[in-house]
Every structure is written in structure tokens, then in C-alpha cells.
A and B are shown apart, each in its own frame.
Chain A
Amino acid sequence: MRWTKADTTQYLPEKQYIDTVIIPLVPFNPASDQHMVKQAFQRELNQVFTNLIEKEYKGRIFLAPDYHYLDGQQEIEFTRVNAWIQKFKEQPFQHIFLFTFDNTWKKYESELDGHLLWVPGMGSGDIQSTETQSFVREQAHQISELIQAYW
């Protein structure tokens, strides 16, 4: 399920079956020439990843809108992430996963009210290349197995 009209319409009457949320955490810093390309790439990669998982488990996983934040400000961002999680839990969703390539979250993992799925991403590369595709497939498969272990 995604945050679209069609999917949310389908979600409401079937709430009982859809108990898992994935929130993509996407850092960006529009002021930094140095990080811009890498962050944009990781954002694309993040979307490919989460879309792939959502497609495979459409009937049980709800893909939240991307959570964007200015990079390096985790000490103030984690309370906002927790506010998101709190709202999702009111639905009630039982399993909240936070998907990110940003390793700085690891330090704040214990502060977060959801399961942090930090994946070491690719620094650069071509999103269309077969190498990237097989990497994403392999990783996405393992992540979905991890998610299933919580069900």
C-alpha cells in the first residue's frame, strides 16, 4: 500500500490485515555541492528499494511518504520521527520499520520507537545498471525476510 488515493481507499476497510509500515528516511542538504549528487543517488536508491518491498508485500506493508530531513541533525530529528511513528501506531500499525542508508541513525537507534533498517548503500553508481539491479534485488530479498521474521 502506498500513500495514494487508490491504495488508502483499499486500506481503510482492510486495516486488520495491513499491520506493517516502512518509513524511508532520506537525508539531504541543498547547500552542499559536495554531497548533493550522492544524496540524490541515495534517495533514488531508497525509492527503488522501498518500492520493490512494497510491491512484493502490498497486502501487508504500508509504505509511508518519505521522511526528508537536513543531514546531520539526528539529535533534533528523532523526536519528529517518533511523532510520525506515534501517529501510525494509532491506526493501529504494529510493526514500524525505518529504512535508511544514512548510518548516523545507528547511534540514535535506541531513541527510535521503530525498527531501524540501516543498509550500507552504494556510494555511487548507475541506477539502471544490471549491477545495481542485482544488488538491490538481493538486499531487498534479505530485508523482506527480516521483516517476515517479525510477523
Chain B
Amino acid sequence: MSDKKRVSRRQFLNYTLTGVGGFMAAGMLAPMVRFAIDPVLKTKESGDFVSVASVDEITNEPQRFEWTIDQVDAWYESEVQKTAWVYRNENDEIVALSPICTHLGCTVDWASNEEYPNEFFCPCHGGRYTKDGANVPGTPPTAPLPHFEFKVEEGMLYLGEAKESGGGL
């Protein structure tokens, strides 16, 4: 046994104290750092998805589905009712349209006007949209109806945020 490898009592104490102290410092700092960078780590989901209806209920004819979300504004939290027109198109894909008229924000209805049985109709100024949500040229709206983001899980339809469809006519 060589003397070089011997650890003196002083060194041993130094090592242990540094080790334990380091652990304690890390234990205190880690949560602080975690809190500081928390907003960065949070995965930004594009809005919360809410279960709206069973997939079996969706037909080729647009149906109105309603649900409520908690909306937090700067001053108050409120329950907001949301509505969507949901149907399956000819390719059997689900389409979920926002009912908010892109003209001035009235609520559009499916086939509510006898003259236009296969269109969305806005009662306020006679705005019209075809079944896929495209605005009919010559009526007040200048943009198509927004589409809701959606996903299907375990036979339920989940809707997220309404996204502008773009490409107005």
C-alpha cells in the first residue's frame, strides 16, 4: 500500500461536504430553473380539443353541434357556447364548419332559405355559402366559412379551434 493513495481525514471531510452541499444546492436550484423555463417547455397545443359528438351521429347532411368552453379573458373567465356544422362529404371525410358568417359575424343556418336548399344561409344580409363552406360570389361575405380543427379518437369527434380557410371568392 502506498501512502499516496491514502486519503487524509481532512480530504475525506472536504469531499463529503462538497458532495452533500452540491446535492443540496442542486435540489434547491433545479425547481427554480424548471419554473423559470416552464413556459418554454410547455408544448403549445393548438387549442384544446373538446369532445363534441359521437362519430356515428355524423351524416351527409350538416348537423348543428353545440358545446361549451371556458374562455379566459383578461378580466373574467366565462363559459362560451360554441357551435359547428358537421357532416361527411362525398369522400367520407368529416367536415366541421364554423357557423359564424365572415361578413359581420351573424350565425348562418343550413338550408334555412327555401330558395337555396343546399347552401348555408345568413339571415342578416342574405350571405350564402356552398356546402363546403365557400362563399357564393355576389353575396356580402368575402371569405369562406372557417373550418374547425378536428380529430377522431375512440369513436368520438373532437373539435379544436376554427381556422380561416382562406381563398375567398
Contact = CB atoms under 8 A, between A and B. Distances in A.
Question: What class of interface size applies to chain A in its complex with B?
Answer: 10 to 19
Contacts of B124: 17, 57, 59-60
Interface residues of B, number: 11
A55 B104 contact: no
A14 B104 contact: yes
Query: B interface, by DSSP: helix, strand, loop or mixed?
Result: loop
A56 B106 CA distance: 5
Contacts of A34: none
A110 to B, nearest CB: 30
A17 B125 contact: yes
Interface in B22-75: none
Nearest to B100: A58
A56 B107 contact: yes
A10 B106 CA distance: 13
A18 interface: yes
Contact of B103 (A55, A56, A59, A148): A59
Interface string A51-82: 00001111110000000000000000000000
Interface of B: 101, 103-107, 122-125, 140
30 contacts: A10-B104, A14-B104, A17-B103, A17-B104, A17-B124, A17-B125, A17-B140, A18-B104, A55-B107, A56-B107, A57-B107, A57-B123, A57-B124, A58-B104, A58-B105, A58-B106, A58-B107, A59-B101, A59-B103, A59-B104, A59-B105, A59-B106, A59-B122, A59-B124, A59-B125, A60-B104, A60-B106, A60-B124, A60-B125, A148-B123
